[in-house]
Structure formats: C-alpha cells, structure tokens
C-alpha cells in the first residue's frame, strides 16, 4: 500500500435517515452495510481468457486469410525494397484524444507485394508497458509505389493478442514496427510524447443491479456522464454561489473519461470497511491485467506508474453500504442506499467519494454540502437538485489543482471569478451537531 500515512478512509453515511438526520457516524460500516453472502455467485472466469493464448495463431488468423499470396503467382517483396518512416504525427496527441499516426512507405522495387506491419508501443514512464502489440496493418504496394498508411491509438486500448488494458496517459513513448511477409524485420523506434490535458482516465467496475436498484433505464456511460456533469454550485461561505451547469468536471476543470468493465461482483461476506476498496484494487489487477493490484496515488500524483496509464478506479455496487474512498487517493467504492435508492442520492454518493479522492475530507461541522449531508441543502431539496460544495472542501481538493497546474489551467472552483453567479438569493444552511 503506497498511500501516505495521512490518508484516511471515510465513510459516507446515510444522512437522509430520518432517525438521526444530522448525526453522521464515520469510519463505521455497521450502521449502513448489510453484508450479504447471497451475492457470491460464480466468478465469470471464462471472460478472461488466459494470457498465454497462442499468439501466433491469433496473429495469423482473420485478415490474413484473404491476403495469402497465391502460390501460382508469387509476388515477392524483396528485402530492401521497402522504406518506412514515421513521417509525422497527424496531430500532437493529447491525453484523452485519439492519437493519429501516419506511416509513409515506399516500395523501391518494381514488383508489387503485400506486407504486414505491426506497431508496438512502449511507455517510458510506466511499468509493465513495454512493447505492447497493437493491431497490424495490411499494406499492398505496387512497384515503386509510395503510400501513406494511417493508424490510431485510442485513449483506452487493449493489447493485441493479450488481455492487458492500457490508457494513453501523458508521457514519453516509443513505437517500433515489426514487418512480416516476404520482407521481415524491424524498423527503428520512433519516439513521441503525449501532452498532458485535463482528462482523467477512470476504470469503472460495475454490474447491472447497481442501476436497476435505482430504476435507471439509461446506460452506465450515460449515468456516469450525468454524475460528473450534474449541475453543481459552490459557496464561498457567504451569500455567493458560483454555478456550474456542467457539474463536477467543469467545477474542477477536469474531463473524467470512463472505461467500463461489466459484471463486478464484490464479495460482501468479507466486508470490513477498507476491504471493499481493496476489492476494487484487486479488480483492477484482474481487468487491466496489472502485475499487482491497482496502486494508490497520493494527492501529488494523479497517475501511478504501475496502473497501465489509468488514473482512477471506481467500483459500483447495489449494496447499501454507502460509499468509501481513499482521501487523496485514486480508488472509491459506491453503493445505493437501501433507504434512499434515488438516482440523485446515489449520484451524490459517487461524487462525494470522488471529492474524497481529490483530497476533500468531510466538512463537519458545516452541513448541507456535498461533503457533508449534501442532500439537505436547499438548492438540492427545492427540486433543482444542485450539488452544492462548500469552499472548505474545494480548498482541499489539491489533486485537481496540481494536475491542472501542470497544464497551465485553472479549475474554475479555485478561481476568484466564478464562471457565473447565481442571482438566486442564498439561504445558507448551516446545521451544527
């Protein structure tokens, strides 16, 4: 566990409970969790084929079937007839964007032929991210032909012929190319860099009962997007609110991007609080093919170099335990309260835990804000359903601030000039124990 010692685990408590509305209890899972062992169904191991699957087989099936040279009319691409160069990047890739590459290939020979070029990517700043195979390119060239061939790397990608999952995070990379066919060999590596951005690569493990319990009919992608762009406001502690129609992402100046992994079934028979976070981290090992469980980051680092380029991880479950997150870390688990299964409440749980991950503790004794009894705020309860943050929470959310400093960007929430100011008269709800 790489977390700094100051990290705490905080439990979001069901403050909507009528019995003790303003008495949240922290650190204890007893009040809200209902360990359920009946969820222990078979693990779907068959969805994770072995890593040692025969690569040669997978490499030669598919497209090759149509490109096998006809023995009767042999087309030979002789050595030294090709000349390959990575002419240029279509655009300097930024974190979160699809990286486009163009290979300029020239056939210096007079005969036509075909070849297969396989790119391999190596990240210089990350572990277990070396010579990761990407999909091959089939190229046909006639004699003396020159051709530009494009290929792309998506922000999230899976290694070809294997099970490891990667994200194209900020940093330095190299590409090399294996060439097969009558011509075989390797071209020298080509270096490139991915520029930083405000994108946050987030792996999400979930299962359908999470949405079913809330009666949500859309997709999990829609749900996550809604959650992170759900309209939010900040209070400076006086009668002034800044409003962010695009929610948490706009407020923090980030763009949260999700890679979804279905059928996460945490084991609640072993529930003891922190254990659920460790299960999310273990799921990262399994789903992303990490060498070890998903490693924690501190508030100083958005990205741990052992997480295949991923920044954050979220586990979503229908269990009614509330939520749990590392403060200043990168992992959370969020559930659906049994006593309030509404979409708004469950989305608030997730965004509250995200606040923890970005560094915010609970804002006690102040109440009525996202990090403390957020569903009690007038702007939430009056039907507008704003998520309202207090600036004592925003101040602590240093992860986004540090990340954005690297990009010369500023989170709107840290700015003295809010994006817009609500004309609504503010009724400041402060409730003390």
* Residue 370 touching Zn ion (CB under 5 A): no
Nearer to Zn ion, 307 or 332 (CB): 332
Q: How far is the CB of 25 from Zn ion (least distance, A)?
A: 11
Q: How far apart are CA 10 and CA 353, in angstroms?
A: 9
Both tokens of 408, joined, read 């010369």
Neighbours of 140 (CB within 10 A): 14
Nearer to Zn ion, 240 or 274 (CB): 274
Choices 6-14, 197-205, 339-347, 397-405 (CB under 5 A): range interacting with Zn ion: 6-14
Nearer to Zn ion, 12 or 403 (CB): 12
Q: How far is the CB of 373 from Zn ion (least distance, A)?
A: 11
* Residue 10 touching Zn ion (CB under 5 A): yes
Please count the residues of this chain forming the interface with Zn ion, following the rule CB under 5 A: 2
Nearer to Zn ion, 15 or 412 (CB): 15
**Contact between 156 and 95 (Cβ < 8 Å):** no
Choices 4-12, 40-48, 71-79, 87-95 (CB under 5 A): range interacting with Zn ion: 4-12
Nearer to Zn ion, 12 or 312 (CB): 12
Q: How far is the CB of 14 from Zn ion (least distance, A)?
A: 11
* Residue 333 touching Zn ion (CB under 5 A): no
Nearer to Zn ion, 107 or 354 (CB): 354
- Interactions with Zn ion, residue window 11-40 (CB under 5 A): 12
Q: How far is the CB of 289 from Zn ion (least distance, A)?
A: 31
Choices 8-16, 116-124, 266-274, 396-404 (CB under 5 A): range interacting with Zn ion: 8-16
Q: How far is the CB of 26 from Zn ion (least distance, A)?
A: 7
Q: How far is the CB of 350 from Zn ion (least distance, A)?
A: 11
Q: How far is the CB of 184 from Zn ion (least distance, A)?
A: 57
Q: How far is the CB of 40 from Zn ion (least distance, A)?
A: 27
Nearer to Zn ion, 24 or 309 (CB): 24
Q: Which residues bind Zn ion (CB under 5 A)?
A: 10, 12
């Amino acid at each position: 566990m790489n977390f700094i010692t100051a990290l705490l685990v905080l439990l979001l408590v069901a403050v909507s409970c009528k019995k003790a509305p303003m008495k949240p209890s922290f650190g204890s899972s007893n009040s809200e969790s209902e360990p359920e062992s009946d969820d222990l169904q078979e693990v779907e191991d068959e969805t994770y084929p072995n890593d040692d699957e025969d690569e040669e087989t997978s490499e030669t099936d598919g497209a090759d079937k149509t490109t096998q040279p006809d023995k009767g009319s042999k087309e030979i691409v002789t050595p030294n007839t090709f000349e390959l160069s990575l002419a240029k990047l279509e655009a300097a890739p930024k974190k979160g964007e699809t990286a486009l590459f163009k290979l300029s290939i020239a056939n210096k020979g007079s005969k036509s032929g075909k070849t297969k070029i396989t790119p391999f990517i190596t990240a210089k700043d990350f572990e277990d991210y070396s010579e990761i195979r990407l999909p091959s390119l089939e190229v046909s060239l006639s004699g003396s032909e020159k051709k530009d061939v494009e290929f792309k790397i998506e922000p999230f990608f899976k290694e070809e012929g294997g099970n490891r999952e990667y994200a194209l995070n900020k940093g330095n990379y190299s590409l090399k190319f294996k060439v097969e066919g009558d011509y075989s060999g390797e071209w020298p590596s080509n270096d490139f860099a991915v520029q930083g951005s405000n994108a946050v690569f987030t792996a999400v493990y979930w299962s359908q009962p999470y949405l079913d319990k809330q009666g949500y009919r859309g997709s999990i992608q829609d749900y996550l997007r809604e959650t992170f762009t759900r309209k939010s406001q900040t209070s400076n502690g006086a009668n002034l609110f800044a409003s962010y129609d695009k929610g948490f992402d706009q407020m923090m100046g980030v763009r949260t991007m999700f890679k979804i992994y279905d059928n996460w079934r945490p084991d609640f028979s072993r529930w003891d609080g922190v254990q659920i976070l460790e299960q999310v981290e273990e799921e990262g090992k399994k789903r992303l093919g990490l060498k070890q469980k998903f490693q924690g980051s501190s508030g100083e680092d958005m990205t741990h170099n052992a997480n295949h380029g991923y920044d954050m991880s979220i586990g979503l479950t229908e269990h009614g335990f509330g939520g749990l997150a590392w403060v200043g870390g990168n992992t959370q688990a969020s559930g659906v309260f049994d006593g309030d299964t509404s979409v708004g409440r469950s989305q608030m749980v997730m965004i509250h835990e995200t606040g923890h991950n970005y560094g915010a503790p609970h804002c006690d004794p102040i109440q009525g804000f996202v990090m403390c009894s957020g569903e009690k705020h007038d702007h939430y309860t009056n039907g507008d359903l704003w998520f309202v943050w207090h600036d004592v929470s925003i101040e602590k959310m240093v992860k986004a601030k540090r990340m954005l400093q690297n990009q010369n960007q500023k989170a709107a929430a840290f700015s003295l000039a809010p994006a817009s100011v609500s004309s609504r008269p503010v009724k400041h709800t402060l409730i003390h124990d």
